[in-house]
């Protein structure tokens, strides 16, 4: 096989439309551009969503929904993952920075600990928020759940 022998599979490519090649081309005198107006001329560019003056689809559809501007979003980390982080870095006190260093969130994320999984080690865990089940499991294992400032 050589570079000059390579070719696309049969039927994979299509010849481009040869527009503006006269009446014999089958595309007529207007070359698929329609009658008079800006769209007929070169250099014409319409706005995104413009439909020739017809009410655009985006404006025909009804508005719906609501985005709460004061919503606080947390990155969720389960209790079982916290125990794995503590074992990996050999920690007795796991903070928000340790959780982010392990790859569970980026610099500006808020961390919430959820109660999925089991925890056996008595750990002091600092996070931005805790679920009730997470607090119960941490304290049952002899640890403490501390809300970070």
* Residue 9, domain member (yes or no): no
Residues shown for the chain: 149
DSSP string, 71-119: ---EEEEEHHHHHHHHHHHT-SEE-HHHHHHTTSS-TT-EEEEE--S--
Is the same domain home to 111 and 137?
yes
* Residue 134, domain member (yes or no): yes
* Residue 92, domain member (yes or no): yes
Compute the average pLDDT of residues 30-52.
Answer: 90
- Break the chain down into helix, strand, coil percent, rounded to 5: 25, 15, 60
Is the same domain home to 79 and 36?
no
User: What are 50's two structure tokens?
Assistant: 């413009």
Is the same domain home to 96 and 41?
no
* Residue 24, domain member (yes or no): yes
* Residue 3, domain member (yes or no): no
Report how many domains make up the chain: 2
Decide if pLDDT at 140 tops 90: yes
* Residue 118, domain member (yes or no): yes
CATH number of the domain at 119, please.
Answer: 3.100.10.10
Compute the average pLDDT of residues 120-124.
Answer: 93
Decide if pLDDT at 1 tops 80: yes
Is the same domain home to 81 and 127?
yes
Cβ–Cβ under 8 Å, residues 85 and 98: yes
Percentage of residues in the chain with pLDDT exceeding 70?
Answer: 100
Q: Is 0.85 surpassed by the pTM of this model? A: no
Is the same domain home to 46 and 89?
no
CA-CA distance, 63 to 83, in Å (whole number)? 46
Cβ–Cβ under 8 Å, residues 121 and 100: no
Which range marks the domain in which residue 37 is found? 18-61
């Amino acid at each position: 096989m050589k570079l000059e022998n390579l070719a696309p599979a049969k039927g994979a490519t299509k010849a481009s439309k040869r527009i503006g090649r006269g009446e014999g081309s089958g595309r007529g005198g207007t070359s698929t551009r329609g009658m008079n107006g800006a769209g007929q001329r070169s250099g014409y560019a319409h706005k995104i969503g413009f439909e020739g003056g017809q009410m655009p689809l985006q404006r025909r559809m009804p508005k719906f929904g609501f985005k709460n501007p004061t919503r606080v979003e947390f990155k969720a980390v389960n209790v079982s993952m916290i125990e794995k982080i503590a074992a990996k870095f050999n920690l007795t006190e796991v903070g928000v920075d340790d959780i982010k260093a392990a790859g569970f969130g980026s610099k500006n994320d808020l961390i919430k600990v959820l109660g999925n999984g089991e925890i056996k080690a008595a750990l002091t865990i600092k996070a931005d928020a805790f679920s009730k089940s997470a607090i119960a499991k941490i304290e049952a294992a002899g640890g403490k759940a501390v809300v970070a400032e």
